[in-house]
A and B are shown apart, each in its own frame.
Chain A
């Protein structure tokens, strides 16, 4: 980091929708904006044509991200970003299709779509902003709310177990899986870039702060305190492999977690079409 990447700080501005009102609707310090910046710098580095990028989302604070972007964007219904994105990808297989989703959007109401997108290994990049809670609707528990954590639907502590989105994606068949945090922003930018370049379903889970609900209810403090805690609790994959389960308690592993080059859905579908329909 110290060797300042000579990267212009203003590239993000090129990709903002000219007619949108800024600043965004998000609470001051919300990690969603940090993810947006890293995502746009990753796109810029890859030099994609704006007209060849579609960004799709469902509903949630995190899902409001695409509405600020000057690409093709679809702001759809809660949990259904992946089915809409699948439709876009099928109609335009050459297009870069990205889904921005939250933990509730992707894993609760959209959980079924999520596992089947992974299973098909369709060439979509999903950026899952995991803030452990439903931000937009007032702090209800989500499938990633940790055991014992407080939310407005678990006021005495969550009795459930939580999903690990990365493990779930690997188990369901995704071919690129990575985890980042809003503290480790340059790494997040690099991982998003790798995910975009990967052919197949790629997931980048980004651990983010909803200080307004998760932070406040669980006494984790302001955005600064929450983001600094991500630094303290993140463990690089190589180091995690040498740690015991006991040492890893309360920590999470960051970096590229899984990669394989299995066949991709659009390619396989085209093979079926070529073999049977078009002569």
Chain B
């Protein structure tokens, strides 16, 4: 878990995040930060690198427009902390 923490601090890549246009609807996923244990699985397994870790190592949707709703992040979240807005 220490790995993801340092990664979060070191890589605050300015400009890497895309601005999300909320008029299109909500972000593709909802993250329950109370249940998330910062295990890094969703961040590492997402094939589109949608997430960046925050300072605690929890996922932030940094590139939401790249999400293909492939389901990989939420089927692998051991703590049911991710739900999809895609029905």
Contacts and interface: CB of A to CB of B under 8 A. Distances in A.
Interface of A: 1-2, 4-10, 12-13, 16, 22-24, 26, 28-34, 36-38, 182-183, 185-186, 189, 222-224, 227
Contacts of B3: 222
Contacts of B36: 23
B11 to A, nearest CB: 16
Nearest to A1: B70
A33 B79 contact: yes
Contacts of A28: 1, 37-39, 78-79
**Chain A contact residues, majority secondary structure:** loop
A83 B36 CA distance: 36
B20 interface: no
B27 interface: no
Contacts of A182: 76
Contacts of A224: 40-41, 44-45
Contacts of A33: 77-80
A207 to B, nearest CB: 14
A185 B72 CA distance: 9
Given A31-B78, A223-B39, 19 more contacts: A1-B71, A12-B80, A23-B34, A23-B35, A24-B78, A24-B79, A28-B79, A29-B78, A30-B78, A34-B76, A34-B78, A36-B78, A37-B80, A182-B76, A185-B75, A222-B1, A222-B3, A222-B40, A223-B41
A242 B87 CA distance: 40
Give the contact-size bracket for chain B. 20 to 34
A5 B79 contact: no
Contacts of A1: 70-72
B69 to A, nearest CB: 5
Contacts of B77: 33-34, 37
A23 to B, nearest CB: 5
The interface centre, meaning the residue of A9, A36, A227 with most chain B CB atoms within 10 A of its CB, is: A9
A13 B80 contact: yes
Interface string B19-50: 00000000000000011111111001100000
B87 A6 contact: yes
B74 interface: yes
Nearest to B57: A28
Contacts of B81: 23
Contacts of B82: 9
